[in-house]
Amino acid sequence: MITLSKLAKTFNTRDGKVTAVDQIDLTIEKGEIFGVIGYSGAGKSTLIRMLNMLEVPTTGEVSVAGKNMNTLSQRKLREARQEIGMIFQHFNLLWSRTVAENISFPLEIKGVPSTERKTRVEELIKLVGLNGRGASYPSQLSGGQKQRVGIARALANNPQVLLCDEATSALDPKTTDSILELLIDINKKLNLTIVLITHEMHVIRKICHRVAVMENGRIVEQGPVLDVFRRPKEHMTKEFVKQVTEPEETEEALKHLFTEEGIGHVLQLTFVGGDAKRALITDLIRKFEVTINILQGKLSQTQDGSYGSLFINVTGDEHHIIEAIDYIRKQEVEVEVIHGE
């Protein structure tokens, strides 16, 4: 559906040239929800804006739905953009227009007859859960409702691709979850390809099938979300994964624990899929002469299954502890010894 080849973007500034996107190769499949995560300045906003040529690449090619976006005439580019919807962090609604009129706007530009526009708008209002709000103005809506209008407007022309530029960053956590659930529902109902950028791993965890991690204009790591959660390779990826797999107080609690004498071994166990629901701790206590204290733990759900991280303190004779660790690994549960006497 989307192919990027040697894509790069350089800006000329007073301080010299700045490379925002640096030689990116990427393929996104049809019907997939693909996330791009990175800190501010990583280049992810520039990247997503090059998918519909709001930013023209310095070098490289962008192909969307079989069309080489670089070579299209202005007329063909306008037509191609109608198949690429986009939603934004700050909604970008027309404040003097009602909800229905905002959603209808792309159809008016396209020249769709008024009767067809009205039918389509009604369909979209129902799809995004805004029944009864068609005559309301943006100033009368909550943040989540405004974003639902933005989504409906982006879907007006039946696009094949939906681009989400930090679409939930301005929303509270509960509203964010409701918008993400709406995007998942739309993806399934319409087989819509969704590309979203974010700095929040919670968003990636909840909605995406695959993720790419950006740093300094480059993709430093990518893969299925569950795989990236399970085996993050880059330091920055590990920091993002910690956002959703470890409670905020974990590091502080463990540091405090390490100052105590006779604490034995501190292990981090990583569970994936069905393993996340196993009674592993009970098995360990029954099979081995060790004492186990659970320190911290969290279970997260991704599009492709569960992911759990558990910190435990294990004390006992050294050989019993080693046997217990070996048993855990044989259960295909990943073990990292964070501290050991």
Using CA atoms, how far apart are residues 183 and 160, in angstroms rounded to an integer? 14
Are residues 138 and 219 both part of a single domain? Answer: yes
SS3 66: coil
Q: What are φ and ψ of residue 203, in 5° steps?
A: -65, -45
Residues 318 and 178 in one domain: no
> Do 232 and 116 share a structural domain?
yes
**pLDDT level of residue 263 (50, 70, 90 thresholds):** low
CATH number at residue 45: 3.40.50.300
* pLDDT computed for residue 187 by the predictor: 95
Residue range(s) defining the domain that contains residue 335: 251-339
Q: Are residues 47 and 161 in the same domain?
A: yes
C-alpha Rg value of the chain to the nearest Å = 24
Residue 260 banded pLDDT, cuts 50, 70, 90: low
* Whether residue 203 is found in the same domain as residue 268: no
Domain closes at, from 199, 219, 244? 244
Domains in the chain, number: 2
Same-domain pairing of 328 and 240: no
* Mean local confidence (pLDDT), 134-144: 95
Tell me, yes or no, if the pTM score tops 0.85: no
Question: How far is Cα 206 from Cα 209, in angstroms, rounded to an integer?
Answer: 9
Tens of pLDDT, residues 145-204: 999 999 999 999 999 999 999 888 888 989 999 999 999 999 999 999 999 999 988 899
Q: Among the three residues 244, 264, 279, which one is the final residue of a domain in this structure? A: 244
Residue 214 has phi, psi (to 5 degrees) of -105, 140
Residue 88's contacts (CB-CB under 8 Å, 6 or more residues apart) are 150, 165, 166, 167
What whole-number distance in Å separates Cα of residue 235 and Cα of residue 223?
16
For residues 289 and 235, membership in a common domain is answered with no
Of the three residues 228, 244, 260, the one that is the final residue of a domain is 244
Compute the distance between CA of residue 201 and CA of residue 204 in angstroms, rounded to an integer. 5
CA–CA distance, 303 with 225 (Å, rounded to integer):
8
Q: Are residues 26 and 99 in the same domain?
A: yes
CB 93 within 8 Å of CB 147: no
Alpha-carbon distance of 280 to 294, in angstroms, equals: 12
Q: For residue 91, is pLDDT > 90?
A: no
The pLDDT tens digits for 191-205 are 999 999 999 888 998
Pairing of strands 161-165, 84-88: parallel
Write the CATH number for 305: 3.30.70.260
Residue 112 sits in the same domain as residue 239: yes
Model pLDDT for residues 37-72, shown as the tens digit of each residue: 999 889 999 999 999 999 999 999 999 988 899 999
Does 220 share its domain with 235? yes
Residue-wise DSSP of 74-109 = HHHHHHHHTTEEEEETT----TTS-HHHHHHHHHHH
φ, ψ for residue 174, nearest 5 deg: -65, -45
Q: Are 234 and 262 found together in one domain?
A: no
Does 220 lie in the same domain as 333? no
